[in-house]
Structure 1
Amino acid sequence: MDHAADLRHAAGVEESRYLDAVFTPGARLGTRPDDPTTFVEVVEVREVTRIRVPSGRLIVDSPWPEECDAEMRPRAGRELAERIPPGTCRVEASWTQAPYEFMGEQYDGRDVAAVRLCVADSPVARWEMALGVGEDPETVPPGERIGFHCETNMGSFADAGSWPALTAPFRDFWRSDWDGDPRPRATESFFDYAFERSSDERHGADLVTFAAPGPAVVWLGRTATGALAAVVVANGYHSVDRIPAP
């Protein structure tokens, strides 16, 4: 069955342009806010790892417990109302580059601009903001953006059915640090800890982390028929000055 578009949550023109371009190598997303002569350009798109989501229920949220929770309980986790086909998906990342100088030193300005969970290989025809379970679409004004928040600037894609087990390494890490005996996290790292993966082999499920500074909006990319193709968090959208449309 085709998905009926909800125009209240559809991406705006600039948001759509950015989301369409951010996974296209060579695309210019805008310019540096502090230097209108330097373009922010997509320089690499590649697979980070794969994630198993056997329940078909996806959480996109921080894996860390709440900072004020001394008991280190798993945070509730923002489960998306949208379901995905149970199985294994690619997690891909887009890197941008925008050189700059600071205190006489040159830097390449390389950053992860966006991450996506690839649900299908079909092209995306439109974008819409994802809502969480229990979030009433009638209460979200058109154009308002909601997502997840994290004090540690880290988000994750995770199977909702194994959320407590998948986030345990992060709670254990904080607990050991608070106890004065810090130990490495029981996770697998990729790209120099830019991403981490934890696994629950009992249920064959995974969690993959990524940087998520500030309130992070989750976007659903849909095909021309309305089928879900991708789930995206675009970290770099607010870090560039947009180029006027041609």
Structure 2
Amino acid sequence: MQDVRTVAEAGPERSAYLEAVFTVGERLGVRSDDPQVPVAVVEVSVVASIRLPSGRLVVDTPWPEDRAARELVERIPAGTYEVEAAWIEAPYEFMGEQFDGRECAAVRLRVRDKPVSAWEVALGVDDDVERLVLGEVGFWTDTAMGSFADAASWLALTEPFGRFWEECGRQPSVVVGRDTEGVRSGEFEKVTGDACRADLLTFPAEEGVTVVWIGRTASGQVASVAVAPPLSWLA
């Protein structure tokens, strides 16, 4: 069996991408369907702050799943942290109309305001190391939504999603709202847990398995926890 830390380390190409996607003005490549159109990072900004009083972090879909939430092995100091998002633009034309192709390409939880020296795969407490070797470690979703949340308060923080799921199942023809706060025109959703003094923030995610990355400082401390799935249409 290969050394887990070595297998988990991001290669040079992936590390460069994780740095570039959070840098305004960086070109990530071109559209695969139009090599003349560059894909550039146009904005990196704070979406919201969340409280993580236990220092145990879950990065997973908030929707009900028949499995335990994916809690990370890595612990961070208890506290309140900013979540940043990076947006890219890749203009395209559809049926004679022009679109800017703007979308959220990556998100990160800022743990320390220090430069990242190295990136590695963020392991979950229940991960199978053999799956890491095969490149299959991450959180799975078929709802195109992930989230950052405090692990100790996960059940309480995801309750609005579970209740919404049940209500829609009972009344599929009725429009049901859910008790969350829309952030950035609803692109993100926040759940504020007053009783547990913890929060959850959702973010757009790819369907299937999404890898979570930890960025470490030169001294080995966690600087950020990032989700930046490869853009399938990027060449």
Q: Distance in 2 between matches of 1:87 and 1:53?
A: 5
CA distance in 2, matches of 1:186, 1:141: 36
| Conserved 8 A contact 2:164-2:177 | yes
Alpha-carbon separation, structure 2, partners of 1:89 and 1:83: 14
- CA distance, structure 2, for counterparts of residue 129 and residue 47 of structure 1: 23
Per-residue displacement from partner, 1:184-224 (whole Å, max 9, x unpaired)? 11001111111000021112100000011122110000011
Within-5 A mapping of 1:170-185: 170-180=161-171, 181-185=174-178
Task: State the distance in 2 between where 1:203 and 1:152 align.
Answer: 26
Query: 2:227: which partner in 1?
Result: 233
**Does residue 28 of the first structure (1) align with residue 20 of the second (2)?**
no
* Aligned equivalent of 2:191: 198
In structure 1, the residue matched to 2:14 is 15
* TM-score, length of structure 2 as denominator length: 0.93
Q: CA deviation at 1:154?
A: 0.4
1:25-64 correspondence to structure 2 within 5 Å: 25-64=24-63
Q: So what's the TM-score if we normalise by structure 1? A: 0.89
* 1:212 paired to 2:231: no
Could you tell me which residue of structure 2 aligns to residue 147 of structure 1?
A: 138
CA distance in structure 2 between the partners assigned to 1:209 and 1:126 by the alignment: 26
How many Å separate the matches in 2 of 1:216 and 1:185? 25
Displacement after TM superposition at 1:37 (Å)? 1.2
Aligned: 1:115 with 2:107: yes
Check conservation: 1:211, 1:235, Cα contact below 8 A. Answer: no
What displacement does 1:179 show?
A: 1.9
Indicate the residue corresponding to 1:244 in structure 2.
Answer: none
**Aligned-pair Cα RMSD in Å:** 1.7
Instruction: Find the counterpart in structure 2 of residue 85 from structure 1.
Output: 77
Measured in 1, the distance between the counterparts of 2:162 and 2:132 equals 35
Equivalent pair of 1:127/1:219 in contact (CA under 8 Å): yes
- Residues 116-160 of structure 1: CA deviation (Å, up to 9, x unaligned): 0000000101100111002243x2454724211111110000100
Structure 1: 5+ residue runs without aligned partners?
A: 70-74, 242-246
Question: What per-residue deviation string (whole Å, max 9, x for no partner) do you get for residues 38-85 of structure 1?
Answer: 11100001000001000100000000013xx7xxxxx51100011111
- Give 5+ residue unaligned stretches, structure 2: none
Distance in 2 of aligned mates of 1:33 and 1:158: 35
Q: Is the 8 A contact 2:127 2:137 kept in 1?
A: no
Give the counterpart letter for 2:178 in structure 1.
Answer: R
Partner residue in 2 for 1:104: 96
> Where has structure 1 moved over 4 Å in runs of 4 or more?
140-143
Partner of 1:223: 217
Deviation at 1:14, TM superposition (A): 1.6
User: Which residue identity does 1:226 align to in structure 2?
Assistant: G
